[in-house]
Structure 1
Amino acid sequence: MHIQTVILIILAAIIALVIALFQYYYKTRKRGRIAILLSFLRFTTLFGLLLLLVNPKFSKKVYSTEKANLILLTDNSSSVAPYQDDIESVLDAIRDDAKISERFEIRPYSFDRTLGNDSLTFAGGQTDITTALKTVQEAYSRSNAAIVMITDGNQTLGQDYGFYGKNQEMPIYPVAIGDTTRYEDLAITQVNANRYAFLKNKYPIEIFVSYFGSSDTRSRLVVLEDGKQVYRETLSLNGSDNVRVINALFDAGSVGLKNITVSIEALPDERNTANNLKEIAVEVIDEKTNVTLVSNWVHPDIAALKKAIESNGQRSVSIARPKADAKAWEDTDLFILYQPDHSFKAVYDYIDNSKTGVLTLAGSRTNWTFLNQVQSAFAKNSSQQSEAIGALLNEGFTLFDTKDFSVADLPPVTGSLGEIRLREQAEVLLGQRIKGVDVKQPLLAVFNGDVQKEAVFFGEDIWKWRMQSYRRDRNFKNFDDLIGKLVLLLTSNQSRERLTLEYEAIFSGSRDAKIQATYFDNTFVFDPEADLSLRLEGGTITGSMEIPMLLKGRYYEADLSNLKPGKYTFTVTEKGDGISKSGRFTILDFDVEKQFLSTDYPKMERLAQNTDGVLFYPSGVTALVDSLVSDQRFVPVQVSDQNIVSLIDFRMLLAIIVFSLAAEWFIRKYSGLT
């Protein structure tokens, strides 16, 4: 307690005593026991009030010894499992050393893909050293700490820890576990390919081959597609020229999943041949767009549109009546509705549910009363009076490039007069010109919605444009390209299947093997109450096995991590509606942790140098302990903690003040004093 506080307390006592004596003894004749008692109560009240103002405190310092933190990071991946005894001996030597215990607080952790507790199973499927170091640094950034990292240094996931070490503030002492001998090795380090290829096109594959050694070597690289050799090349590598990147193109001759096997011949004395082969899958798909043209009428426009669309070999057009069976529309990517009337009601209902793109051509036979009611994108007050309508190109149209399309010399089409209202946001590609005057009405408008895309052409006799294109340019390109771009826009990003699947054709091991499914109801709204099940066959399964698919937010998922390597077929079925979809996949007998035979001690040594640490080996654990104990950076420090405590208990003091005031008042009243 400070001397100033003591003086204030003494002054408070003197002041309280003087006031109490003055009130009860100055010019007072009655000085009996009652006066003494009342003076004491008044003194107590005043002294308590003054103590509240002074608020005396005293400080107390508590001294303690703070040790540095010794963080033991132990690799828990399967690649170090053969060296479990070495790891345990290193850990025991550190934990049981008395000098280490005196100087450090030991904080044990394990790591593989993520940082974990000190439980060791040596079953981790991947190793991310950088994430472990980063997590530890964040947790102990405000303390004095050192890291002992026991690992083989082979990282299979995440940022390269050799470079991350430059950002690490704590000294790191790696302990290199495993075989430090550098063996000659050929490896296919990576194979890159697109997941999908289009029929009758070529698809590229990029192959990375690395050689670890110092001598000159030659080896043959072979690529197989479904077991058939499609590529072969002999590679020459040496200690300085030790990497090859091979880019090759392959024909997508048929639709389906293509299993691609890339292999390189092993060296005569090569010990690790697991990395001499990689498998991938490429799915060849037919990108053909299916267009259904619905009409009640026979008209040259229908033939012109069919020819223009099918000028692209990846598109096909089928012509249907509006009262056709709806099942025939399930594969439709775009509807073209030619002059719709009341008979198109079922078609519009299907389009509304499936959100399929639609192009409407409205001419003299269109029932505008029906059309205005059945859809909400546009409306027209038609006078039923026919008029020849010319086209005006909107140079500001942005949904696709129109610079190659010319409306010059195009004959007018036939349309009806009347006010047109675009009730949803749209871009006008072509405007109307009647008798040379721009009437500020759209001829061709496009509605580029997020869910559904739509376009409307307010006229007929569009076949004349295709004929004029040929008459002028001796080809149909001007017209066909416009229709092709319009079809591409209206069919882009359309997904109308009620059941969709997401999975890899080839899984590198079963750890990440999952199949995801999305299911929509008949209005194409995601159904979170669907009953989806997955039936598996093949591999090591006898007969078949059924797995329920669990809801995970906006999709369903089946975990296949317990499956053995092999080839499997599966079917996903929604039991309520009976909708199903099938596929196949392969789980490879692949463990990325087994791709390494040697310890990556050069990188661990670089990490130690970058963080002002030292690399050690299991045989040198005694030197590691001595280095930690003798390092002056980790000397325990004495820290003081100053606690400031109030000398008085405010609640008790207030109670005493209230009691003394009440007692004084009661005694004065009882004694007849005023």
Structure 2
Amino acid sequence: MSTLVLFYIILALLVGVAVGYFQYFFKVKNTPKYHIVLFALRTLSIFFLLLLLINPQLKIKETFNIKPKLSVVVDNSLSTSFFKEESNIEELMREFKSSNKLNGKFDLDFFSFGEEIQSADSLTFNDSHTNIHKAIKSINNLHKDEDGAIILISDGNQTIGEDYAYVNSKKTIYPVIIGDTTKYEDIKIGQLNVNKYSYINNKFPVEALIQYDGEKPVNVVYSIFKSGRKIFSKPLNLSKENNSITVTANLSSDKEGVHYYSASVSKLPGEKNVKNNTKNFSVEVIDEQAKVLILTSIMHPDLGAFTKAIESNKQRSVTVSNITKFKGSFEEYQFVIAYQPNIYFKPFFDERKSNFLIVTGSKTDWNFINTLELGITKSYINQSEDYNATYNSNYLTFIQKDIGFNDFPPLKDKFGAVSAKDHQSLLFQKLQGFTTDEPILATLEKGEQKFGVLLGEGIWKWRAASYLRETSFQEFDAFVGNLVQFLSSNKKRKRLDVKIENLYLANETIDISALYLDSNFKFDSRASIQIAIENTITKEKKIFPFSLSNSSFKVEVDGLAPGDYSYLVSVEGQTVKKSGRFKVADFQIEEQFSNANTEKLTQLATKTEGSTFFSHEQNNLINQLVDDKKYFTVQKSVEKERGLIHWKWLLFVIVGLLTVEWFLRKYYGKI
């Protein structure tokens, strides 16, 4: 308490005494004895009232102890149950929770992880993926300002994510190895590379990486089956030194449609895990290849970005030609990209009325485009401007998710105002931080004609940015593919469009999306859509309703057993329907490992200055953690100010004093 506050308290007492004296003793000749009581009551009430206003504070120093954090992170994936380690893990958890030595030194918290990390309230051991790297990073971010360590209970077999052996962890990690650590002879298909599409009467390659883990030489047979019939076979010789081999099979595609295959390698004598000996795949055979032409008058990196993105779908081939050197017919191509057109493009626009994409930029002749009567014009000046893109979630023409458009680098185009008719904007222009209603990417439809306009050069930067974001070109290439597919199609627009894959893996979440348009081809958010899925063998049928998500309908389907399925998507009260087939393959990625990855867990422990332990060595782990001097309790003190008085009680006392004084004055006739 400061000297000034103490002075105010003394002053308040003196003021209370002065007020009481003035009222009951000043210029009073005959002072009755009860005036002393009234004087005391008035003095105290005035003093307490002023004390309430002063509200004196006392500084109190609080001291508390902070224990180091110990995070116990448990592998909750299917591989744990595959190795039959559920009871061992539950016993480990009980040991850690009940250990007085451990809880006396550390502040424990418990987490489980598969693809994501969460609080370990209950363990199910049914997660279909393991991401150890993400779990370690999450714990480090959660307790980034606290000292401590991590106990990682896992078999060390990761199925997705970055290599956890190289994770940057400020906390020491102590892996507890579960699963079978015995080395068994094992042969597996490590990787299978195959295109999703092929063309009728062509051959398509199937590339398989066969891996062997063992000491002695073995002879096996690699085979590919279709509908139970062997269509390819090759004997292989592997050994400890020659433990992997790549086999390429060229299969014929003689019938249009979706075809399912199974690749397998024969079982070794006494092999423990044979589930990794087989992998399923599908190939869609199409009748013809779509030809795409890119017409340009300049050289630009965008041409390569478009080519690679379009040709990532093997249904399409791209030809790049300078407009002044083009020989042939434009009608040979199903789709044309007119890159930064000028007056030399006039023959193309005179002949071609639809199925094209215009890409503009700093070299574009907008005077020429404005004369084409395409429904889009621009009032411009000869000065370039950078335009960022903003995703339009209300775009209804075809289904296209946001792949991070808002974060992509800007495109360059001539500065000016854009005017467009009968268009749908997938992306709006964002200029100097403000989103406008002018398009940067739009599709236009005029009767039977449809085409698109991309207002800006530099899309190669988008492809690079997408790769940095996703570590893959797949998202960007799929976006370009969707745009090309819509603009190149001459088919009548469908009112119901369903996006579903041909092949899924067991225990994989099946994401299905649908776009429904009313009779005026406007998105109808009021529609009630459902999908009926039936197993073609058991005839078991399940119905799932779609839910509205932005400008499309979506449903997630879980728990389908391996097998062949047919589906029917229908709209309540409408005759619009969409049917098809897909397959759920009997493949569990978490069951592809024959033993725990002891080497990688040991590498992780060494990198973070920890130690590895087996599941029966929990007492050694506890003792090492307790005895380690680098983990210690930190004592901290915090100085806080607390009120010297409790204002509610003091207010109650003041009211009581004034009330007693009033009754005494009333009793003695002073009122």
- 1:5 and 1:558 map into 2 onto residues whose CA distance is 68
Aligned to 1:259: 260
**Aligned partner (choices 111, 114, 139) of residue 112 of structure 1:** 114
Aligned to 2:151: 148
After superposition, residues 439-518 of structure 1 pair within 5 angstroms as: 450-454=442-446, 491=488, 496-513=493-510, 515-518=512-515
**Aligned partner (choices 527, 534, 544) of residue 536 of structure 1:** 534
Shift of 1:425: 1.6
Question: Alpha-carbon deviations, 1:406-461, whole Å to 9, x = none?
Answer: xxxxxxxxxxxxx9995932489xxxxxxxxxxxxxxxx9987534444999xxxx
User: Taking structure 1 as reference, are residues 538 and 630 closer, same or farther at Cα in structure 2, changes over 3 Å only?
Assistant: same
User: Taking structure 1 as reference, are residues 208 and 526 closer, same or farther at Cα in structure 2, changes over 3 Å only?
Assistant: farther
For structure 2, list consecutive stretches of 5 or more residues without a partner in the other structure: 292-327, 337-342, 350-355, 361-369, 380-419, 425-441, 450-483
Shift of 1:626: 1.2
Q: Is the 8 A contact 2:547 2:555 kept in 1?
A: no
The worse-fitting range, judged by mean Cα deviation, of 599-608 and 4-13 is 4-13
Shift of 1:287: 5.2
- 2:100 and 2:242 map into 1 onto residues whose CA distance is 51
Aligned to 2:277: 276
Aligned to 1:47: 47
Q: Is the 8 A contact 2:527 2:572 kept in 1?
A: no
User: Taking structure 1 as reference, are residues 633 and 201 closer, same or farther at Cα in structure 2, changes over 3 Å only?
Assistant: same
Aligned to 1:569: 566
User: Taking structure 1 as reference, are residues 489 and 201 closer, same or farther at Cα in structure 2, changes over 3 Å only?
Assistant: farther
Aligned to 1:318: none
**Aligned partner (choices 136, 140, 146) of residue 133 of structure 1:** 136
Question: Alpha-carbon deviations, 1:325-349, whole Å to 9, x = none?
Answer: xxxxxxxxx9xxxxxxxxxxxxxxx
- 1:117 and 1:151 map into 2 onto residues whose CA distance is 14
Aligned to 2:186: 185
User: Taking structure 1 as reference, are residues 638 and 392 closer, same or farther at Cα in structure 2, changes over 3 Å only?
Assistant: closer
**Aligned partner (choices 350, 364, 375) of residue 424 of structure 1:** 375
- 2:250 and 2:113 map into 1 onto residues whose CA distance is 41
Q: Is the 8 A contact 1:538 1:569 kept in 2?
A: yes
Question: Alpha-carbon deviations, 1:181-219, whole Å to 9, x = none?
Answer: 223333222223343334466655443333334556665
SS of alignment partner, residue 605 of structure 1: helix
Q: Is the 8 A contact 2:76 2:126 kept in 1?
A: yes
- 2:130 and 2:34 map into 1 onto residues whose CA distance is 87
Q: Is the 8 A contact 2:165 2:604 kept in 1?
A: yes
After superposition, residues 75-90 of structure 1 pair within 5 angstroms as: 75-81=75-81, 82-90=84-92
After superposition, residues 349-428 of structure 1 pair within 5 angstroms as: 399-400=357-358, 422=373, 424-426=375-377
- 2:23 and 2:50 map into 1 onto residues whose CA distance is 17
Shift of 1:138: 3.6
For structure 1, list consecutive stretches of 5 or more residues without a partner in the other structure: 291-306, 316-333, 335-390, 403-418, 429-444, 458-486
SS of alignment partner, residue 632 of structure 1: coil
The worse-fitting range, judged by mean Cα deviation, of 140-149 and 504-513 is 140-149
**RMSD over aligned Cα, in angstroms?**
4.8
Q: How many residues align?
A: 518
Shift of 1:655: 7.0
Amino acid paired to 2:517:
F
User: Taking structure 1 as reference, are residues 139 and 539 closer, same or farther at Cα in structure 2, changes over 3 Å only?
Assistant: farther
**Aligned partner (choices 99, 102, 105) of residue 103 of structure 1:** 105
Is 1:609 matched up with 2:590? no
SS of alignment partner, residue 278 of structure 1: strand
The worse-fitting range, judged by mean Cα deviation, of 61-70 and 150-159 is 61-70
Shift of 1:270: 3.9
Aligned to 1:339: none
- 1:192 and 1:95 map into 2 onto residues whose CA distance is 46
Amino acid paired to 1:90:
L
Aligned to 1:379: none
Aligned to 2:177: 176
Question: Alpha-carbon deviations, 1:18-54, whole Å to 9, x = none?
Answer: 5765787677756556875775566446534653564
User: Taking structure 1 as reference, are residues 246 and 454 closer, same or farther at Cα in structure 2, changes over 3 Å only?
Assistant: farther
User: Taking structure 1 as reference, are residues 494 and 136 closer, same or farther at Cα in structure 2, changes over 3 Å only?
Assistant: farther
User: Taking structure 1 as reference, are residues 488 and 557 closer, same or farther at Cα in structure 2, changes over 3 Å only?
Assistant: closer
TM-score, normalization: structure 1?
0.63
Is 1:549 matched up with 2:545? yes
- 1:271 and 1:493 map into 2 onto residues whose CA distance is 54
Q: Is the 8 A contact 1:262 1:278 kept in 2?
A: yes
Question: Alpha-carbon deviations, 1:529-576, whole Å to 9, x = none?
Answer: 2343415241333xx625243324254556553433222333334453
Amino acid paired to 1:58:
L
Q: Is the 8 A contact 2:73 2:113 kept in 1?
A: yes
Shift of 1:255: 1.6
| Percent of residue pairs identical | 32
User: Taking structure 1 as reference, are residues 13 and 84 closer, same or farther at Cα in structure 2, changes over 3 Å only?
Assistant: same
Question: Alpha-carbon deviations, 1:469-489, whole Å to 9, x = none?
Answer: xxxxxxxxxxxxxxxxxx999
Shift of 1:155: 1.6
The worse-fitting range, judged by mean Cα deviation, of 89-98 and 238-247 is 238-247
User: Taking structure 1 as reference, are residues 396 and 257 closer, same or farther at Cα in structure 2, changes over 3 Å only?
Assistant: closer
Shift of 1:600: 0.6
Q: Is the 8 A contact 1:281 1:506 kept in 2?
A: yes
SS of alignment partner, residue 579 of structure 2: strand
Is 1:628 matched up with 2:631? no
Aligned to 1:71: 71
- 2:359 and 2:146 map into 1 onto residues whose CA distance is 61
Aligned to 2:9: 9
Question: Alpha-carbon deviations, 1:66-113, whole Å to 9, x = none?
Answer: 544443323232322212343344334434433234333443333333
User: Taking structure 1 as reference, are residues 495 and 15 closer, same or farther at Cα in structure 2, changes over 3 Å only?
Assistant: farther
User: Taking structure 1 as reference, are residues 577 and 672 closer, same or farther at Cα in structure 2, changes over 3 Å only?
Assistant: closer
SS of alignment partner, residue 88 of structure 2: helix
- 2:135 and 2:289 map into 1 onto residues whose CA distance is 49
Shift of 1:257: 0.7
- 1:502 and 1:174 map into 2 onto residues whose CA distance is 42
Amino acid paired to 1:529:
A
Q: Is the 8 A contact 2:186 2:594 kept in 1?
A: no
Amino acid paired to 2:177:
A
Aligned to 1:94: 96
Shift of 1:263: 2.8
Q: Is the 8 A contact 1:280 1:506 kept in 2?
A: yes
- Whichever of the two has the greater Rg, that structure is 1
Q: Is the 8 A contact 1:446 1:454 kept in 2?
A: no
Aligned to 1:304: none
Q: Is the 8 A contact 1:502 1:516 kept in 2?
A: yes
- 1:133 and 1:93 map into 2 onto residues whose CA distance is 22
User: Taking structure 1 as reference, are residues 60 and 222 closer, same or farther at Cα in structure 2, changes over 3 Å only?
Assistant: same
Q: Is the 8 A contact 2:173 2:609 kept in 1?
A: yes
TM-score, normalization: structure 2?
0.63
- 1:427 and 1:247 map into 2 onto residues whose CA distance is 53
After superposition, residues 578-589 of structure 1 pair within 5 angstroms as: 578-589=575-586
User: Taking structure 1 as reference, are residues 95 and 55 closer, same or farther at Cα in structure 2, changes over 3 Å only?
Assistant: closer
- 1:181 and 1:231 map into 2 onto residues whose CA distance is 34
Q: Is the 8 A contact 2:110 2:119 kept in 1?
A: no
